[in-house]
Amino acid sequence: MAFELPPLPYDYSALEPTINEETMKLHHDKHHKAYTDNLNAGVSEGGLEGKSIEEILGMASQVSAKVRNNGGGYWNHDFFWKIMTPGGSQPSGKLADAIAEFGGLDKLKEEFNAKGAGQFGSGWAWLIADENGKLKITSTPNQDNPLMDCVFDKGTPILGNDVWEHAYYLTYRNDRGAYLKAWWDVVNWDEAGKRFDGAKG
Ligand code: MN
């Protein structure tokens, strides 16, 4: 079974004005589609058929650059669409408690935005639950993610923001900081909470 491009869980224009329709169309239909197609090609070239995407990411150090990069791109974007929602939401439950322990939501946003702004070139900013179930803010280059065996900060992704220029350039131009700040308006904290509840630790 080849990997398939998952549909967006809302309309292309649903995240406006934070992320505009044109950005969403290109990002999903072109970029995410290309990661999916190239992942399938790499999986077949590498004889990795039958493995789940999580299994592939967990052995990222042993696969081709094509599979690592496109497998990351495939998983990261599926996650990204799900952890956003029109109008956003607020943290609740166990995740809200963990955020309070972290130092509060303002501190978390500030650190996350700084990680995203400080990621040189393309990559992602992450909120993860580490092996002890504690919240941690990290970043990765390219399409690497915290599920890969070869990244420094491994853990369960709770939130992730795409800081590739294709994610924001049509609206925010070179102002990655403005995009990072605005992005919180569409964060799906209910989905993030489910990920946190399911994390080990
Ligand atoms: Mn992207």
What pLDDT was estimated at residue 198?
94
Alpha carbon distance 97, 104 (integer Å): 9
What pLDDT was estimated at residue 200?
72
Q: For residue 55, with 0-12 CB atoms within 10 Å meaning exposed, 13-18 middle and 19 or more buried, which class applies?
A: exposed
What pLDDT was estimated at residue 201?
60
What pLDDT was estimated at residue 131?
93
Q: Compute the distance from residue 97 Cα to the ligand 1 centre, in Å.
A: 30
Regions in the chain scoring below 50 on pLDDT: none
Helix (H, G, I), strand (E, B) or coil at 136: strand
Per residue in 31-50, pLDDT (tens digit) is: 999 999 999 999 999 999 99
What does pLDDT average to over the chain? 97
What pLDDT was estimated at residue 43?
98
Q: Which residues are in the CB-under-5-Å shell of ion ligand 1?
A: 162, 164
Domain 21-82: give its CATH code. Answer: 1.10.287.990
Task: Give alpha helix (H) positions in the chain.
Answer: 21-25, 33-45, 53-58, 65-82, 93-102, 105-118, 169-172, 176-183, 189-198
Q: What ranges do the domains of the chain cover? A: 21-82, 93-197
Q: Compute the distance from residue 101 Cα to the ligand 1 centre, in Å.
A: 31
Domain 93-197: give its CATH code. Answer: 3.55.40.20
